Amino acid sequence: MGGRLYGQQALQEGFVPRLVGLHHKDGYQVPFAYPKGAPVIRIVGGRGSGRTALLGAVHDAYNGRVPLARVDLEAPGFGEPGIADGDDDVPNASRITHLLYLLAYKLGLEVRHFGRPMTFPRLSLGLLVVTAWRPLNSDGTDVRPPDLRRAEADLRTLITAEDPDVRRRRESLGRWFDVVADNLPLVLSAVPGLDTIAGIVLDTARAQLVKSEPDKGALAWWGGRLHASQGYQGDSLQRLFQFVRGFRRLDDRRRTAEEHLVAALLDDIDANYGTLRRLNKKPRPLLLLDNAHTDVGRVFLDLLDTGHGAPGKDPTRPVVLATLLGNGHRHPPLSEVGGDAVPQARPLVLGIPDIERAHIAEMLSAVDYPDHLPRVVARYSGGRAASARILADTAVRRVQEAGTIRSGELLDEAAPALLAKLLPDPVMRERLVLLSAAADPRTRRGLWTFAHPEDHSEDLVAARVREADEYRTRSFLDGDRALDLLLRHRLAATTTHERWRDTHLRLRSLCDPRSDTYLHHTLALGRVEEVVCVLHHRFTVAPPAEWLTSLNLICAAPHPRDGYEPPPGAPPCRARPAGATSRARTTKPWPAWCPCSGGCPTRSPSPLARTN
């Protein structure tokens, strides 16, 4: 995006400062839009709409000024270098615990002019007992070193005692923690690379376990959270270690345990804002969650919604901006939060609007561009800011080099980058390029069989086509006309003339000769006169709306590459029933030998021109 946002300034420059309490550039404070805590804000947009660019701009504006954590919930290791993807199927960890480790680490980094770094004692305790207590390998066997097994056995004896010796238990906790710290890579073997971050976070837990009494501090919080009505018995420390049993169940009890951990995160954030910080109206921390439409993202947002609504006396909550892949047109646009607006919806869902023609003209302003160029960019961008940026940059470069640019040349150069942006999976992208030749869903399987004769099974062919269609659906690109144009242009650019002809002849053979799709493929074959004859005849007998609908589908046929010669075919019919005129309705049948599948009422040139 080149650092420039289009149509999103109302949120970036106006609303976010009122959420955080700090101007996006200058150092002065801004009155809070939500003094009692802002809702979780979901920002919905399609691929290339500018979701990631928006979070990038907010991150750049506030990084080093407020406690901040930015994660990509779709990337390996949440976008953190050196961290692998976690697994939800291991007993002592989940994707949520990995995410909470990372958030606690990032929010706990030192920030200038903010004061003492934030700490997370409640969350650290919960993460420690979940991830470090009896870690097992994938087949369920115990692979811990002997010192760790002995330390845990000794601690278990003291924790389960009805009347434990507090001093001995504290000493046992200290030994167990020391051994866990020495073996952290093994303890967190499910997520390679997380042990360094986890070690920093868990340093906070040591003070809580070894130095605090069970009825004080973070331990007291867990004792109150895990009350007897939920089946937890004993003092706070005993309840905390019983908490592990619920987490290890790979069912609803794990989700409840994760809810407790997210509540610990939120209450730790609130505890970091004491009386002095509240009086000074210190800015609130920022959580920037990209690609929150993923499974882990949806779960985490639901847990945040639950935690945000927990009872309390005006707790300090973090500002949460989460972007989701989806149809932004179904939600109020970002402009809804401009000015002094304070939406009351919880959670608050906003859509990223389409890029405007004025923004496209601004992108092209570096050159003296042809008048038609903004319209071409708008048509092929589909309203997506990133797509418009790719097209505009390509157009500017070509105009600077050659003085002008043709639409076909623009797409030749820009289409690969545009499709890679919209359809990141290369396998699915190539499938959709191929299947774009089929104008009718019924012919898609026939096309795949023609292109991949090695797939003999009908079920396999159906699965291949279904996977591609589902991928497009998950990308929220169903019915996207700009994508259809790009796919068909790419197909023409990468297909030989012979292959083009054979493909559309094959597709046409699968269609009813009286159908619009038959004519669609006839036009793709370059047989323009045949299509003109049929449309001219239909114009005399079909209702206007029906005729225009057919015209749109037929004339959406893709162009072959330059140099293509149409295959030979029968000449268009010149016959006309006696007494019929070019505009007259008639019930008289056309000759059975008419190659136009309906006759041509006139031999005069049709006013129709191919517009695709």
d(Cα 130, Cα 139) in Å, to the nearest integer? Answer: 19
Q: What does the pLDDT read at residue 143?
A: 59
More confident residue, 537 or 170: 537
Given a cut of 60, whether residue 598 has pLDDT beyond it is: no
- Return the bridge partners of 190, or none: none
> Confidence class of residue 569 from pLDDT cuts 50, 70 and 90?
low
Non-local CB neighbours of 201 within 8 Å, separated by 6+ positions:
101, 104, 105, 108, 120, 123, 124, 127
Beta strand 68-72 pairing with 348-351: unpaired
Report the percent of the chain where pLDDT is more than 70. 88
Cα torsion 3, 4, 8, 12: sign = positive
Window from 214-218, 370-374, 426-430 with minimum mean pLDDT: 214-218
Give the pair of three-digit tokens for residue 370.
């042809």
Q: Which residue has the tokens 């004859």?
A: 533
The residues that bridge with 72 in the sheet, in sequence order, are 290
Instruction: Give percent of the chain above pLDDT 90.
Output: 52
How far is residue 123's CA from residue 76's CA, in Å, rounded to a whole number? 23
**pLDDT score of 90:** 79
E-strand ranges in 7-73 read 41-45, 68-72
Averaged over 111-136, what is the pLDDT?
A: 85
CA terminus-to-terminus distance, the chain: 30
Highest mean pLDDT, choosing among 127-131, 262-266, 579-583: 262-266
Task: Give the Cβ contact number of residue 414 at 10 Å.
Answer: 23
Region of residue 597 (left: phi > 0; alpha: psi -120 to 50; beta: else):
left
What is the number of H-type helices and E-type strands within the chain?
Answer: 26, 5
Would you state the pLDDT for residue 517? 92
DSSP for 538-596, please give it. HHHHS-HHHHHHHHHHHTTPPPPPTT--PPP-PPPP----TT--TT----SPPPTT-TT
Mean of per-residue pLDDT scores for the chain:
85
- The per-residue DSSP string of 48-60 comes to TSSHHHHHHHHHH
Give the pLDDT score at 586: 36
Spatial distance between the Cα atoms of 445 and 451, rounded to a whole number of angstroms = 10
Q: Give dist(CA 56, CA 165) in Å, integer.
A: 53
CA neighbor of 541 nearest in space, from 573, 588, 575, 574: 588
This prediction has a pTM of: 0.85
Whether residue 533 is predicted with pLDDT greater than 50 in this model: the reply is: yes
User: What is the reported pLDDT for 604?
Assistant: 36
Indicate the range of 165-174, 334-343, 495-504 predicted with least confidence.
Answer: 165-174
The confidence band for 311, taking pLDDT boundaries of 50, 70 and 90, is low
Supply the pLDDT for residue 188.
78
* Residue pLDDT, tens place only, 158-199: 888 877 777 888 888 888 888 888 888 877 777 778 888 888
The span from the CA of 15 to the CA of 348, in Å, is 12
> What's the pLDDT tens digit per position in 364-403?
999 888 888 999 999 999 999 999 999 999 999 999 988 8
Measured between alpha carbons, how far is residue 263 from residues 100, 307, 391, 521 in Å? 11, 5, 45, 59
